[in-house]
Every structure is written in structure tokens, then in C-alpha cells.
Amino acid sequence: MIFSNAKVNGFTLLELLIVVSILTILAVIVVVVINPSQILAESRDAQRISDSAAIKTAVPTYLLANSTTADLDGPNHTTSCSGEATQKVFVSVPSDNGETAPNDLPVGWSYSQVTSANLGKVDGAGWLPINFNSGQASPLSNLPIDPTNTFATGQYYMYTCSRGAGTYELDIKMSSAKYGQNGSLDKMTNDGGDNVGRYETGTSLTIGPPDYSHAVLNTSGLVSYWRLGEASGVNAADALGLNNGTYVSSPTLGEAGLLVDDENTAATFNGSSQYVLVASAKIIGGLSSWSIVAWVSNASITLRRPIYAERPSSGNDLLKMELNSGTGNIALTYRDDVGTLNQPIGTASLAGGPHLAAITKSGTASAFYVDGAAAGTATLTATDTWTNAGIESRISADTSGQYLNATIDEVALYNVVLTPSQITYLYNLGISNQ
């Protein structure tokens, strides 16, 4: 019998711990470097780009085959293109998936959905309403469907049409950093459309409902609009170019914007010295009708302080959209030449946030709105007689030394009274940018 003196050694506990630690580190490195979630997102976006190309081929083919009889909203709709009686946004989200369509469309528009069973049909019964079988063999066997396809994610396909022009628009929301806003292959920001939150393609890119900023710019009565999206410098641009402002005492620029899916940034003010001087004159003060709309977040509510103000260095004329002390409720200060003062307070708070704040005035009637919902009304006794010299219009401060500590974004002034539905639309658009 032969005996071996060879000694078999196992791993010590310390060695096992070292090996496990090394494997853990390698796993983390693999996850960080490869980033499987982004790979999946990029794969979904690649499918979306391929789907959009297929539709871009199919629709012109249909139009060519039906040059005199083309029906861009299909056999099941009659007045659903842009500018018609029942304007529709046709979406790929099925009507029976358990979701409720968001309330983020302009007045006069609504979503159109079909059931899951009909979703991919190409005979006009599918989510895209064109009958592709008309006058030809359909170039599509089934309508493309977004790989995620839910309202909750915002990732679904949207189709709109313009009958008179014979044009259409297809909107798609990307999910990856690569194809998203400011990505290396950004498909959404510079596509020529009016919604930075979606990739817009088709033969006309302004048919469908716009993003927040374009919705503001398209609203009648707009007199100034400061997005406060500058990354640096002292210039605060008015999107209309009428009242370009100046950042005073270096507020923090480039802060995360208060709109969903919008890369435009916001500005944060310290509550002691920082503000934006937007005009060395009144802008809406003294008008019989006006509206102020702004987004605000993380505001200090210790003292009553202005989001927007028009006030002279001396004299009585005064207009301020404010947060009330203690509660943060939306508030208004309005005073005329002779000193008649009104300081009504709304019923909803702007503490925390982000919040959309809005105040409207029509003659002696004022109304408050927070996050698209009515927040009280008031009757003003101050007149619209404003003759004081030296008025300054400011964001986050007034000329009396009152400063607001808050992040502010998207300040818009109108010389008309926005309707409740318009304000609700802006809020819903701001929290979705669908």
C-alpha cells in the first residue's frame, strides 16, 4: 500500500472573503460600465425609431394611392383633424388597459383610443385611424405599438392630422439618455417641432399640442415671458424680447427646472438681495385685465414676500403676487394712486412644491389658482389709476426691500384674463409635457 504525504489545503475564511469582495467589486463595475437598464432603454428607443420610419413610409404611400380621396382621420372619424370640430390626438395606449387619459390637452382637443384587440389593425379600426388597405395593399401588416405604451410613463405613440394641408404628425417619447434631451443622439430637442419632450416626425411638426413653453407662447394676450433658464450671466431673456431682464446680486442659475420633461432650468433666489429686474416701468399695473402665472418651489413662508411685483421707489402704486406669511397661501397686494389698498389671500398654499401659481384680474374681480385649481376670489376696491414715476417690475422682490427665498421658473404676464380651463391646461401640461 502506498501512502501519500501530500497535503490538500482549502481556502481560509479570509481568502474566501477577499474573493467575494473582488467578485462584488467586479459585478458593480460591470453594472456601472454596461448599465443594462440603459441598454434596454436604448433598445426600446431603437424600436421606436424603426417604428416611426415604417409609419413615415406607410402614410405617404397611402396618400399617393388615394390622392383625391385620402382620409387622414380614417373611416371612423369625420372632423377629428386639427382645426375641426372634434380635434383628436390618436394614441397607441389601449382604452382597456386600466389607465385614464391625462387631462393635458388644450381646450377643443381630446384623446382617441381603441381597445387592445383593435390596436394594431390597419383598416382604420386601429389606434392610427387611417385605412391603409384603401386603394392598395397595406404597406403595414400591423400598426407599430410603443414597446412601453402607457400614459403613466408618457411613452406611447401620438398621431395628429391636418386635413386641408394633407399633412400629419407623429410624436414619440424616448426613454434612454442616448436618444433623449441633450443625449449623444438627441432625437427630441432639435427635430423642428414644438414639443421638446417628444421626437416629432411627419410632414408637419406643429399640428399636435405643443409643450409648455410653446403653449404659453401660443396663448393670446401674452406680454412677457421669462423662462429663467439661463445657465450663467446677468441677462434674463423675455421670450418675446420685449422686457429682457437683469439678474441682480447673482441668484443661483441652472437649478433643476420645475416642469416635467423639460430641460430648461430655473433660478433660486436667496431672500435677502437677489432678484430679476425685468423693467424700469410698469408692465400690467393699472390695466383693467391681466393675469400672472409662475412656477415656484421651496419658498420660505416666514414672511409675506413677492413672486412678482411692480412698485415705484416712492408712491402708492403697487401690484404683487405673493406668498402669505405662515401658511404660504397665494396672495395679492394691489394699491392705486390715492392709497386704496387691497390684500386678499387665496385658499391654497404654495409651500413646498413645485406649484403653479396664477392670479387674474378683470375689473374689480380677482381670482386665485394653485396647481390648476381655483383657490378663491376677491373684490378689489383699488382703482386702475397708476401714474407714479419710477416704477420697477421685478421677480422675487419689490422696491421696498422685500425679497423671496424660493426657486422660480416660467414667469408669464398677460394683458387678458386667462380662463380656468387655460390655467388648468398649463398646470397639467407642466406636470406631464406629454
Q: Which pLDDT belongs to residue 103?
A: 80
Domains defined for the chain, CATH in brackets: 49-210 (no CATH), 215-430 (2.60.120.200)
CB–CB of 119/133 below 8 Å? Answer: no
Going by C-alpha positions, the residue among 28, 15, 130 that lies closest to residue 71 is 130
DSSP for residue 99: P
Q: Which pLDDT belongs to residue 29?
A: 58
Interior angle at CA 367, CA 362 and CA 371, nearest 5: 135
CB–CB of 357/333 below 8 Å? Answer: no
Q: Which pLDDT belongs to residue 262?
A: 85
Q: How many CA atoms lie within 13 A of 404 on its CB side?
A: 32
Going by C-alpha positions, the residue among 300, 267, 196 that lies closest to residue 410 is 267
Q: Which pLDDT belongs to residue 181?
A: 81
CB–CB of 162/80 below 8 Å? Answer: no
Q: In whole angstroms, what is the distance from residue 86 CA to residue 110 CA?
A: 8
Peptide bond into 75 cis (omega under 30): no
Q: Which pLDDT belongs to residue 289?
A: 98
Angle formed by the axes of helices 13-34 and 36-65, to 10°? Answer: 20
Q: In whole angstroms, what is the distance from residue 352 CA to residue 373 CA?
A: 17
Going by C-alpha positions, the residue among 281, 270, 264, 267 that lies closest to residue 234 is 267
- Taking only the tens of pLDDT, the chain with its 434 residues reads 454 555 555 667 776 777 777 777 765 555 555 568 888 999 999 999 999 999 999 999 999 999 899 999 999 999 999 999 999 999 999 999 999 998 888 878 999 999 999 999 999 999 999 999 998 899 999 999 999 999 988 899 999 999 988 999 999 999 998 998 888 999 988 888 888 788 999 999 989 888 899 899 989 999 999 999 999 999 999 999 999 999 999 999 999 999 988 889 999 999 999 999 999 999 999 999 999 999 999 999 999 999 999 999 999 999 999 999 999 999 999 999 999 999 999 999 999 999 999 999 999 999 999 999 999 999 999 999 999 999 999 999 999 999 999 999 999 999 999 999 999 999 999 998 65
Q: Whats the size of the chain, residue-wise?
A: 434
